[in-house]
Amino acid sequence: MIFSSKAEYGVRLMVELGRQSPEHPTSLKAVAEAEGLPLAYLEQVVARLRKAELVMSARGAHGGYWLARAPEEISMDEVVQALEGAIAPMECFVNEHTERVLCSHEPDAGRGCATKLLWTRVQGGIIRSLQQTTLADLVEFSKRGEPVAGESVSPTTLGRSAKAELRAGAAA
């Protein structure tokens, strides 16, 4: 498993907010009930999104959360990064100071570190796919089950519909 449930819950929350009009704030309770998620835990999740300035909040009665920007301008790598911390395939990537036995990547010390090359490529693959997906893509998909054809879909999809992507893409 790669991402924790924080990412899952947080993304769902963002999608839910994206479905609402930003006129009036949405309470966490409403989101928790709609998605069947524990409210108290959602509070911790949304706190990360707020600190990253991806959502805004209003306290008190009829308070709640709403998106800080339009869904089209929120790329999912920001969201996932806010929820999960640095996006890295290996421990030594996130904290260079944690010099555990696990990681002996000497920094550019003559002979190249083979695993670092591999993890760098993987990291690139992850980040690219996250960057090329906006929150608007997900909101659209959740509304119709399929994004509008001819819209500014990310380059990777190359015209394939999101549904076809789902069927084909999961083949490991």
Which candidate, 99, 128, 102, places its Cα nearest to that of 115? 102
Which candidate, 168, 163, 132, 159, places its Cα nearest to that of 146? 163
| Most distant CA pair in the chain, distance | 62
- 12 or 153: CB nearest DNA: 12
- Binding status of residue 50 toward DNA by CB under 7 A: yes
Under the rule (CB under 8 A), what is the footprint of its own copies?
1-3, 5, 7-8, 11-12, 15, 35-38, 76, 81, 86-91, 93-94, 101-104, 108, 110-130, 132-133, 137-139, 141-146, 156, 162-163, 165-166, 169-170, 172
Residues between 100 and 119 with contacts to DNA, criterion CB under 7 A? 100-102
> Which of 34, 44, 118, 156 is the binder for DNA (CB under 7 A)?
44
HEC-encoded secondary structure of 102-152: CCCCCCCCCCCCHHHHHHHHHHHHHHHHHHCCEHHHHHHHHHHCCCCCCCC
Residues between 125 and 144 with contacts to DNA, criterion CB under 7 A? none
- Provide the binding-site residues for DNA, judged by CB under 7 A: 4-6, 9, 27-29, 38, 40-41, 43-44, 46-47, 50, 57-65, 100-102
